[in-house]
Every structure is written in structure tokens, then in C-alpha cells.
Amino acid sequence: MLDRVARVSRWTVLFALILFGAALAGCGKSAAPTPPAPAQPPAKLTLYSAVNEEYMHKLAAEFEKETGIKVEALRLSAGEIVARVRAEKNAPKADVWFGGSADGFIQAKQEGLLEKYVSPQAAAIPARLKDPDGYWTGVYIGYIGFVSNRKLLAEKGIPAPTSWEELLQPKLRGQVVAANPGTAGAAYTMLSTLVQLYGEEKAFQYMKALHGVVKNYPRSAVAAAQMAGMGETTVGVAFLQDAVRFREQGMKDIVITAPREGTGYEIGAVSIVKGTTQMAAAKKFIDWTLTKKAQEIGQTVGAYQYPTHPDAKSPAVAESIRNTKLIDYDFVWAGKNRKRLIEKWNESVKQ
């Protein structure tokens, strides 16, 4: 009897121990810490830019160094950026757009392609150099003018042109390079300048006459300045900062002049592309590009535009063109009429 009781007691104790162990195990499981959420991938921006390659890559590298945000940059002409951002509207590939005249940004704003963002840093930028609604902010200024080759001018026995009319002289037939306004921001600035100077009818009469002396229409006006510097054409129409850059790089035959009637200019801008998935990083990029430090980067790599930040130093090598006579260029009008004027140029000039 006692043996039987002892056996039952042993089984009871064993069973209780098993239940107690299971309970402990269950408690241990419920108390286990929640595994950490997977780490978010680091921010990365895709940048479309119309500034020269060296400037673009230096800008991206310095921003990444200061913020840790990687930047994948693609260089396109200003007109190409407008067309590409429009084509990608329903599935944007770019996050930010840097460089190219405000005309293109105004058109893009009108088409709903840009995000509104008023950076705290924009307070330092003069009102005339930024969009009143916050869709773009100016980061630099550049002037349209003439880039001539000293040796070719001497061969033809003519001085460097100092007026729009002098581009039409017979000795320059086939020796003027002016870029395509549909792809090149500088070429559209030229077209808009002439319309604002002379009125639309007279300006298109002029463009038709100019067509008779133009050698070709490259996609970028940078090519026009470079061709003049290399002796491949006598005169190119381009932003003058590009002429200064090529002269500093050793093209010593470059002669820089501007039309005495007055010329147009660009406000190179920066903006966020509508639909970006990297909004926080894009805002950081805008903030950073508007600082004094960031705006002085360009001149270290041959980009000699004038910065828009009042405290940023202008490039000393561009001092000779600072007093270029400018017209009262209407950027809003130019932006709103850009598509129409380019279509008219394609139909009536470049046939």
C-alpha cells in the first residue's frame, strides 16, 4: 500500500514539474524582446543639372560629404530637362533640378512639374531672383553675349561684333553658331531677348536673317562658345561665363563682347521635382545650395556665374563682363511664352 502511494506521489511530482517547466518556457517566450525593424536605406537623390559637368559633380560630392546623402547626377541642357521632367511626370525619376535659366522653371511650374518649397535659406536671396510662390529659387546669374575667335576675325578683317545687327554681316556667312532654343537655355534666352527688345514680328524677321549666316544649331550653347575658342567658327552666341571658362582653360584667342543694344540674362535656379519620394533629402539639398558656401563652389571648377547670395564672392576672372548692358528681361513672360516661341521658331526659322 505504501509502495503504491509512493509511486503515485512520484508520478504526481514529475507531472507537476513538467507543467511548471512548460509554464516557465511559455513565460520566457512572451518576454522575448521584439526584433528591431529593418534599417531604412540611406537617402539618395537623383539630380538633373544644366551646369557644366565639373560643377555638377563637385556640387554633388560636397553635398554628400556634408550630409551623407548620396547624389546620382545627370547633366542635360536646360531644354532637355524640361522635356524629360514632363515626359516622366507620371513616374518621376529625378528628385531635384539644379541650373538652367528660370524661363524653363517657370514653364515647368505652369505645367505642374515642380513642388513648392520655401527654404529658410531663401530669405537671403533678393526677391527678384526667386519665384514669389516658392517653386524655384535663383542660385546664379549669367549673361548672353558673343564669343569670337581673334585669329578668324583678323583673317576676315572685321572686329568682334558689338551689336545684334553686326552678326548679320556677309563676312560672317556660315561662321556664326547659335544653339537650338528648344534644347539650349542660352539660345532661348537669346530668342526671348530679341522679342523683348524688338517686338515679336521684327525679332522673327531678324532670326530668319540670322539663319542665313548660321553654321549650325548645336543642342547646347556651351558648344558654340567652345567652337569659337577652338577656331571652328568665328562667332558663337552663348552665356559669357562659358567663354570665360574656356579662355581660362587656355583658349587665348577668345574675344568676349556683348550687344550694345542690351542683352538678356539667366537666373540659374534650383527646384524640387513634383512627385519625389525623397522630399526630406530634396529640401536639404535646396537649403544647402542657397548658402554662401555652396554658391562659391562653382568658381573652383570653372563655373564663373555670379552667385545670388549677397555675401557670396563673385569670380574675379569674370569681373571684365560684370558691366554688360542688360535689358529689363521679363522672366515670367519668357517662361509663359517659351513653348509657343520655340514652336514658332521651329516652324518659321529652322525649316
Mean pLDDT of the chain: 90
Residue 44, φ and ψ in degrees, nearest 5: -145, 130
The pLDDT tens digits for 169-198 are 999 999 999 999 999 999 999 999 999 999
pLDDT tens digits, residue range 217-238? 999 899 999 999 999 999 999 9
Q: 178: which strand partners?
A: 237
Up-side HSE of residue 243: CA atoms within 13 Å toward CB? 28
Q: What is the pLDDT averaged over residues 68-75?
A: 97
The CATH architecture one would assign to domain 44-141+266-319 is 3-Layer(aba) Sandwich (3.40)
Percent of the chain with pLDDT over 90: 87
Say what percent of the chain tops pLDDT 70.
88
Please state the pTM of the whole predicted model: 0.86
Is the predicted pLDDT of residue 3 greater than 70, yes or no?
A: no
pLDDT (0 to 100) of residue 43: 84
- Which residues neighbour 11 within 8 Å (Cβ) at sequence distance 6 or greater? none
CA distance 182 to 69: 33
Fold category of 142-264+341-348 in CATH: D-Maltodextrin-Binding Protein; domain 2 (3.40.190)
CA distance 177 to 218: 8
CATH code 3.40.190.10 region(s) in the chain: 44-141+266-319, 142-264+341-348
State how far the Cα of 20 lies from the Cα of 14, in Å rounded to an integer: 10
Residue 269: beta bridge partners?
138
Are the CB atoms for 152 and 231 separated by under 8 Å? yes
Q: In the structure, what pLDDT confidence band is assigned to residue 120 with cuts at 50, 70 and 90?
A: very high
φ/ψ of residue 260, rounded to 5: -70, -20
Q: Which three-class secondary structure state does DSSP give residue 11?
A: helix
DSSP string over 101-113: EHHHHHHHHHTT-
Contact 270, 286 (CB under 8 A): yes
Which amino acid does the sequence have at 99? G
For the chain, the C-alpha Rg in angstroms (whole number) is 31
For the chain, the residue count is: 351
- Cβ distance 206 to 169 under 8 Å? no
pLDDT tens for each residue of 147-159: 999 999 999 999 9
In eight-state DSSP terms, residue 312 is S
330 has a pLDDT exceeding 60: yes
